[in-house]
Amino acid sequence: MTERKPPGVPFESWVDKQIRDAQGRGDFDRLPGRGEPLPPELSTPYDELWWIKRKMAREGLSALPPSLALRKEAEDTLTAAYAAPSERAVRKLITDVNVKIRDMMFRPPPGPPLGMKPYDVEEVVRQWRERRAEKKPDSELQ
Banded pLDDT at 74 (limits 50, 70, 90): very high
Rounded to whole angstroms, the Cα distance separating 126 from 33 reads 53
pLDDT in tens, 27-62: 888 888 888 888 777 777 888 888 888 888 888 887
Reduce the secondary structure of 94-124 to three states and give it as a string: HHHHHHHHHHHHCCCCCCCCCCCCCCCHHHH
3-state secondary structure of 26: coil
Which pTM was predicted? Answer: 0.48
Q: Give the pLDDT of residue 109.
A: 63
Rounded to whole angstroms, the Cα distance separating 52 from 76 reads 26
Residues 6+ apart with CB under 8 A from 66: 104, 109, 110, 111
pLDDT in tens, 95-139: 999 999 998 888 776 777 778 889 999 999 999 999 999 887 655
